[in-house]
Amino acid sequence: MKAKELAYIMHRSTNILPSLEALENSKDYSIEEIKKLIQECPFVTDDEMNFISEALEDYSKCRWIPFICVIVPSFE
């Protein structure tokens, strides 16, 4: 349990927070670059990446509700 907790803390600081920061400053990042940041995490499965990719497409098209509904549970 402790190892899983430490892994999540590391995942949050090395993948989640940089990805969210990249979205916040998205003029400096393409959606593809953000996907690559997330894909680097060994904890993200292919199925999760499919959901995240779709959410990022929603984000790029200003479809906020579908984006939030997918991305928040994915990051949690």
Residue 1 CA to residue 56 CA, distance in Å, equals 31
What's the Cα-to-Cα distance from 70 to each of 2, 7, 25, 75, rounded to whole Å? 27, 22, 20, 9
The pLDDT value given to residue 56: 86
The pLDDT value given to residue 17: 75
Residue 3 banded pLDDT, cuts 50, 70, 90: low
Q: Is the pTM of this model over 0.85?
A: no
The pLDDT value given to residue 41: 80
Kindly report, residue by residue over 8-67, the tens digit of the pLDDT. 677 777 777 777 777 777 666 678 888 888 888 888 888 888 988 888 888 888 888 888
